[in-house]
Structure 1
């Protein structure tokens, strides 16, 4: 195998596929990146058997030559060393040459590296996914969907199904739900190409986090293919595969209250900053609990007490308060996560009692819903 490539394109592809490579794998060859050179261009692959990423660099793009393939072939190179080398090469072009014994010469300017490679035929094949169930949404919307839900997945492996985000597609509407049983994040969005079909899949949270790092903020469409045990995201010259979680996701629709006893409308930024300040004294505390109390004059009081540290109290103005008086405690971290996920200047919070779950939405957008369970403190 022998080729010359533009360094900046090489860096991009290597960085993308490296996100799928784990140093803790039990299969030694998966600590490497597979490189295949064909007449059409170069294909880079990284995998940890849960996530697999394939990046293709065509020979030409928009009339510019990106890769000059002088001899086709393949090699697997250690991802850690290879990605470090590529980032630090001195010139704008890089030459590769692989000998019969998988010895790989990487040359850029006066810098030369010789790496020991592995046989690409020993690298596991990527899943073969029949592209029957396909729908699409824009890259920027997909990135937002992930950001607004994935933080609420469970970090505990005691219920593995809750470490993923539940995706349901019905009549061209995608609903993403994440919960760790103490809070819930839900987001709906329109998709293209799913008029006839309905899909359901639980995608691991860590897969979505890695996918989000690769997606740019463009409005180009990402094609999404769901099978029984895999999901494939196709974007530009990139394929991102992830295994799906097995099991039944709990029916979360019953958790969401449909009526309320107290409803607040608050300026989101002021409320977020007040919660942040109130949590300063409880940061070391595992519970990180803050209290909210409605008071006269359309105001609320945010407070927290840590016996060995001290107390903080702050009043903030609301846009409106409807219904019964309220005193409620909740996790400051959960509240701040939820507020950051909501979009809009004002947030409406609907409470059904001091010990019942409450929901939060943007006043201007009901596509995002956040639910938090309160904490018993009094």
Structure 2
């Protein structure tokens, strides 16, 4: 195996597959990146227990400027490989596999000789059937992930809640995430889709997937098997295991009747909560309080050790009963950030019942639920 190519282009592909490589794996060969060179181009593969990423760099890609002299494959320790490629002196590099699984990496006057591992011992990637599949632009998929993944649980005590529940039924793609303190649900209407599915994808997998797309407009084909899901673009295959178990019925958690409704601009409200939480973060109880009545809306932050903050809020409109409610400001900030700079409607029932956030624009089917904090 011998190939010469552009260092920056190669480093970009290497960075993508490294998202799937962990130094803590119990399978030593998975600490490496698999490099496979064929007549048509270069394939890089990285994998761990949860995700596998495979990228393809075509010999016809002008940016790669690839010259293939001989084909072959090898596994190279990822940690050192990436650092070596980053620090090479020239814009091009040459990889050459010699005897005893050794790889010579040269660029300008620099020459590295690194030990590789036999690629025959690298685990095979899952075979995913294309029968249950749909296509979405990366932009839509990224938005769906950004609007839900922040609400997954970080606690392994209920593993199913560490994932995003993704279902497709009757042309409605539904994504739900909850950690039992907050919930985020996004619906997208698709057209002429005959397939249906019901899966739970680890939140960490989706975060890495979102970072791996190079072009927002590229199409992503989603294919599903019993315990695996594949996100496929023209140059990348991203595999993730699926979480086993039944996701809770979250639909019944979302209230439909409310006593107080208020509309804010997201950016203004986010800034105010950020200010109020400056002091609450320093206290033992990370709580911000919101007080609403017909002519005054006030937010309070308090830390017995440092002091308190109080601010009158600008709002667009308010209706219903007066209410004072306490909540975790971090949950609220995460929620508001996922909306972007739009107007949002917040609905309350009582100081101890969960409240909802929705876009004022009813064409966007996106709802979030936050459980308030009980205070004496």
Fold in common (TM above 0.5): yes
* Alignment of 1:346 onto 2:337: no
Q: Which runs of 5+ in 2 are unaligned?
A: none
Equivalent position of 1:325 in the other structure: 322
SS of the equivalent of 1:201 reads strand
User: Could you tell me whether the CA contact under 8 Å between 1:135 and 1:192 is conserved in 2?
Assistant: no
Report the Cα offset of residue 374 of structure 1: 0.6
Indicate if the aligned counterparts of 2:55 and 2:235 stay in contact, CA closer than 8 A: yes
1:231 counterpart SS class? strand
* Aligned position for 1:308: 305
| Residue equivalent to 2:218 | 220
- 2:24 corresponds to 1:19: no
CA RMSD, 1 decimal:
1.5
Secondary structure, in 3 states, of the residue corresponding to 1:61? coil
Counterparts of 2:58 and 2:283, CA distance in 1: 53
Partner of 2:118: 119
Deviations 1:122-148 (A, max 9, x none): 010100111111111111111111111
1:1-378 correspondence to structure 2 within 5 Å: 1-61=1-61, 66-191=65-190, 195-285=193-283, 287-297=285-295, 299-364=296-361, 365-378=363-376
Give 1:366 shift.
3.1
Confirm or deny: 8 A CA contact 2:30 2:122 kept in the other structure.
Answer: yes
- Between the two proteins, the alignment pairs up a number of residues equal to 375
TM-score under structure 2 length normalisation = 0.96
Q: Post-superposition shift, 1:344? A: 4.1
Mapped to 1, the partners of 2:24 and 2:269 lie a distance apart of: 42
Summarize the Cα distance change of 1:255–1:287 in structure 2 as closer, same or farther, 3 Å threshold.
Answer: farther
**Farther off after superposition, 307-316 or 174-183:** 307-316
**SS of residue matched to 1:169:** strand
Structure 2 Cα separation of the partners of residues 154 and 68 of structure 1:
47
Question: 1: CA distance between counterparts of 2:290 and 2:347?
Answer: 13
Cα contact 2:101–2:117 (8 A) shared by 1:
yes
Structure 1 residue 71: Cα displacement = 1.2
Q: Structure 1 length as normaliser, TM-score?
A: 0.96
TM-aligned CA deviation for residue 92 of structure 1: 2.0
